[in-house]
């Protein structure tokens, strides 16, 4: 009943539809690879927390792999990944998989968990009042998604390819006072206030405060990702804010 091979097959056929002359657009190829990594992180995280009820490993694999399905039609139609000027890719992905995924033999409650995880993975907050299953699986995908982006940013900084991912941020350096103020006041930062790589890194710290599972924090800690952000931001001031955010992240572990 729970076949990850069937999930993979559906995902491959779905993404193959976005190929042109046998190739995905490089931006979509990044999303394809990201989806596979997030699927793996979901599986590892669920395993490490001992989630081993019937269907759990299928759920982790499937929710992770499908979470960004909406990115494919979004990019095809609007040529952007900015939800604010195109479409909410979580909502779109949830709508697509509800109708098109191969649900044969999957119980209704598990289906609801996957659809909710896709729908809510990109929302500012997971809405209060969700049932436990949809809530728990949304939290898992949100953590896994963040972990992969943290890793990807570090890797790109190391390789010198970070500005391919953040082209708008190439021209500025340092922390924007508007962003620092916004984060001090609200705890989160808008991308519209982020002008530099340092601004982006500061926003990354705010995501860390939103992680759901101690094991996610432990993973970032073990990989020294948070400490590296602290070091990289050190020359640019706002030390109290940075330390404060990092203390909040670590307090969850
Ligand atoms: Fe996403």
CATH of residue 11's domain is 1.10.3210.10
Residue at which a domain ends, from 113, 145, 177: 145
Number of domains in the chain: 2
CA of 35 to the centre of ligand 1 (A): 9
The verdict on 186 and 66 lying in the same domain is: no
Spacing, Cα 67 to ligand 1 middle (Å): 6
Shared domain for 104 and 135, answered yes or no, is yes
Residues 87 and 53 in one domain: yes
Do 86 and 13 lie in a common domain?
A: yes
Work out the number of other CB atoms within 10 angstroms of the CB of residue 191: 14
What does the alpha-carbon distance between residue 253 and residue 146 come to, in Å, rounded to a whole number? 16
In a shared domain, residues 33 and 136: yes
Q: How far is the CA of 62 from the centre of ligand 1 (A)?
A: 14
Are residues 122 and 41 part of one domain? yes
Position 167 scores a pLDDT of 85
Distance 235 CA to ligand 1 centre (A): 31
Instruction: Compute CA 64 distance to the chain's CA centroid, rounded to the nearest angstrom.
Output: 10
C-alpha to C-alpha distance for 67 and 61, rounded to whole angstroms: 10
pLDDT at 191: 83
In the reported structure, the alpha carbon of residue 89 is separated from the centroid of ligand 1 by a whole-number distance in angstroms of 7
- Torsion sign over Cα 237, 239, 240, 241: positive
43 lies in a domain?
yes
73/118 same-domain check: yes
Quick check: 194 and 163 in contact, CB under 8 A? no
- 112 and 223 part of one domain: no
Residues surrounding ion ligand 1 at CB below 5 Å: 68, 122
Do 141 and 22 sit in the same domain of this protein?
yes
129 located within any domain:
yes
Same-domain pairing of 193 and 121:
no
* Cβ neighbours, 10 Å, residue 159: 9
Judged by phi (left if over 0) then psi (alpha if -120 to 50, else beta), residue 178 lies in: alpha
Residue 133 domain flag: yes
Residue finishing a domain among 111, 145, 179? 145
Examine residue 64 and state whether it is found in any structural domain, yes or no: yes
What parts of the chain have a pLDDT lower than 70? none
Full residue range of the structural domain in which residue 46 is found: 4-145
Question: Looking at the structure, do residues 11 and 110 belong to the same domain, yes or no?
Answer: yes
pTM beyond 0.85: yes
Cα separation values, 227 from 23, 231, 233, 234, Å: 38, 6, 10, 11
Q: How far is the CA of 192 from the centre of ligand 1 (A)?
A: 18
pLDDT in tens, 135-192: 999 999 999 999 999 999 999 999 999 998 888 898 899 999 999 999 999 999 988 8
Cα 39 to averaged position of ligand 1 atoms, centre (Å): 12
Does residue 124 sit in the same domain as residue 175?
Answer: no
How far away, in angstroms, is 111 Cα from ligand 1 center?
Answer: 19
């Amino acid at each position: 009943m729970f076949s990850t091979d069937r999930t993979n097959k559906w995902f491959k056929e779905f993404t193959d539809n976005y190929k042109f002359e046998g190739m995905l657009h490089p931006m979509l190829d990044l999303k394809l690879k990201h989806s596979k990594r997030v699927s793996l992180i979901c599986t590892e995280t669920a395993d490490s927390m001992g989630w081993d009820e019937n269907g759990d490993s299928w759920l982790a694999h499937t929710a992770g792999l499908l979470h960004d399905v909406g990115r494919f039609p979004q990019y095809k139609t609007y040529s952007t990944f900015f939800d604010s000027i195109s479409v909410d890719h979580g909502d779109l992905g949830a709508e697509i998989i509800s109708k098109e995924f191969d649900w044969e033999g999957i119980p209704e409650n598990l289906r609801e968990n996957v659809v909710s995880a896709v729908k809510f993975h990109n929302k500012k907050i997971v809405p209060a009042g969700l049932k436990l299953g949809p809530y728990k699986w949304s939290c898992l995908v949100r953590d896994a998604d963040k972990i992969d982006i943290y890793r990807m940013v570090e890797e790109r900084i190391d390789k010198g390819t970070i500005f391919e991912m953040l082209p708008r941020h190439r021209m500025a350096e340092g922390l924007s006072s508007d962003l620092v103020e916004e984060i001090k006041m609200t705890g989160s930062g808008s991308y519209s206030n982020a002008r530099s790589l340092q601004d982006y890194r500061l926003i990354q710290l705010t995501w860390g405060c939103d992680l759901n599972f101690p094991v996610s924090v432990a993973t970032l800690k073990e990989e020294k990702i948070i400490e590296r952000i602290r070091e990289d931001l050190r020359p640019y001031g706002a030390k109290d804010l940075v330390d404060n955010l990092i203390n909040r992240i670590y307090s969850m572990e």
